[in-house]
């Protein structure tokens, strides 16, 4: 058996070191990474994208969602992306900090990735990492993008459900008129819903939905306080509903 085959088998039996090394191989563009990816069958678990501006609570929301899904006994693979420096190429990857209570849980695998010059809000090897985690048999994959501005929309090509996290106080209704990130959301998560301005934010997002001619059955806007686990059940229900709807299509 070749080394690559051994690695692929290790991934399939959910060996943490094999999963980690497989992702590194893809990340470094190792010459064997192509054949490795071919060996990994994809079971196709749902991929949940979490995107939004820096500091809106994406990692904290991911942490709360992991906890929610773990309580339902689902295993979770997480890909968390932070930016590489355009000057030095280095990076400080800090998403993991918010998820520390899951570090020793064998049902959770968290991998941080740096953007390494990519501009769409993800890392060049994010797709490969998702494939490895899928092959390892995790029940759900979460992908957290870098803190995005308006036009980093790469996540729409990778995720089955895109959740856009917004918080109060980020701008008036003109912001919701603009093209880009607002258009790719399957669900709008209005986080930090205990802050002033949450009602105005909700009105703006509702306006956006109506203007876009989207037929919302009420599940598109979810208010959360991720740090207090508030609204996470509702978000999970919405995600399930959206996944069901997309499958039917």
Partner 1 sequence: MGNAKKIKVLVAKPGLDGHDRGAKVVARALSEAGMEVIYTGLKQTPAMIASAAAQEDVDVVGLSILSGAHNEILPEIVKELEKAGMEKTMVLAGGIIPGDDATELKAKGISEVFPPGTALKSIVEYIQERIS
Residue whose CB is less far from partner 1, 124 or 230: 124
Of residues 7, 27, 191, 220, which one binds partner 1 by CB under 8 A? 27
Environment class of 124 (CB within 10 Å of its CB; exposed 0-12, middle 13-18, buried 19+): middle
Asked if 32 is part of the footprint of partner 1 (rule: CB under 8 A), the reply reads no
- CA distances to 64, 93, 115, 145, 215 from 59, rounded to whole Å, are 9, 12, 16, 10, 29
- Token pair for residue 118? 């990519």
Asked if 227 is part of the footprint of partner 1 (rule: CB under 8 A), the reply reads no
Residue 136, SS3? coil
Judged by CB under 8 A, the stretch of 41-49, 91-99, 163-171, 229-237 that binds partner 1 is 91-99
Residue whose CB is less far from partner 1, 92 or 211: 92
Residue whose CB is less far from partner 1, 97 or 195: 97
Residue 108, SS3? strand
Q: Are 150 and 119 in contact (CB under 8 A)?
A: no
Least CB distance from residue 132 to partner 1, whole Å? Answer: 12
How far apart are alpha carbons 232 and 142 in whole angstroms? 15
Residue whose CB is less far from partner 1, 114 or 165: 114
Rg of the chain over all Cα atoms, to the nearest angstrom = 18
Asked if 6 is part of the footprint of partner 1 (rule: CB under 8 A), the reply reads no
Residue whose CB is less far from partner 1, 29 or 169: 29
The position carrying tokens 């039917």 is 248
Asked if 89 is part of the footprint of partner 1 (rule: CB under 8 A), the reply reads yes
How far apart are alpha carbons 41 and 12 in whole angstroms? 9
Asked if 197 is part of the footprint of partner 1 (rule: CB under 8 A), the reply reads no
Of residues 32, 67, 112, 175, which one binds partner 1 by CB under 8 A? 112
**Strands 187-190, 108-114: pairing kind:** unpaired
Asked if 96 is part of the footprint of partner 1 (rule: CB under 8 A), the reply reads yes
Residue whose CB is less far from partner 1, 27 or 144: 27
Of residues 44, 90, 213, 244, which one binds partner 1 by CB under 8 A? 90
Asked if 185 is part of the footprint of partner 1 (rule: CB under 8 A), the reply reads no
């Amino acid at each position: 058996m070749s080394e690559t085959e051994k690695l692929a088998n290790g991934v399939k039996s959910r060996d943490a070191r094999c999963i980690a090394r497989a992702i590194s191989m893809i990340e470094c563009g190792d010459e064997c990474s192509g054949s490795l990816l071919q060996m990994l069958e994809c079971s196709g678990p749902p991929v949940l994208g979490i995107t939004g501006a820096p500091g809106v609570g994406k990692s904290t929301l991911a942490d709360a969602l992991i906890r929610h899904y773990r309580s339902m006994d689902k295993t979770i693979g997480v890909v968390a992306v932070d930016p590489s420096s355009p000057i030095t190429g280095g990076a400080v990857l800090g998403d993991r900090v918010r998820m520390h209570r899951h570090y020793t849980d064998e049902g959770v695998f968290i991998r941080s990735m740096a953007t390494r010059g990519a501009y769409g809000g993800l890392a060049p090897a994010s797709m490969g990492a998702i494939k490895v985690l899928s092959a390892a048999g995790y029940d759900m994959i979460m992908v957290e993008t870098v803190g995005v501005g308006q036009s980093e929309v790469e996540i729409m090509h990778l995720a089955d459900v895109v959740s856009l996290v917004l918080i109060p106080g980020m701008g008036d209704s003109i912001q919701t008129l603009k093209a880009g990130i607002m258009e790719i959301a399957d669900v709008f998560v209005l986080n930090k819903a205990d802050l002033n301005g949450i009602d105005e934010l909700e009105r703006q997002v509702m306006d956006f939905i109506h203007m876009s001619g989207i037929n919302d059955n009420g599940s598109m806007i979810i208010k959360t306080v991720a740090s207090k686990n508030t609204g996470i059940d509702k978000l999970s229900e919405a995600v399930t509903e959206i996944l069901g709807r997309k499958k039917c299509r």
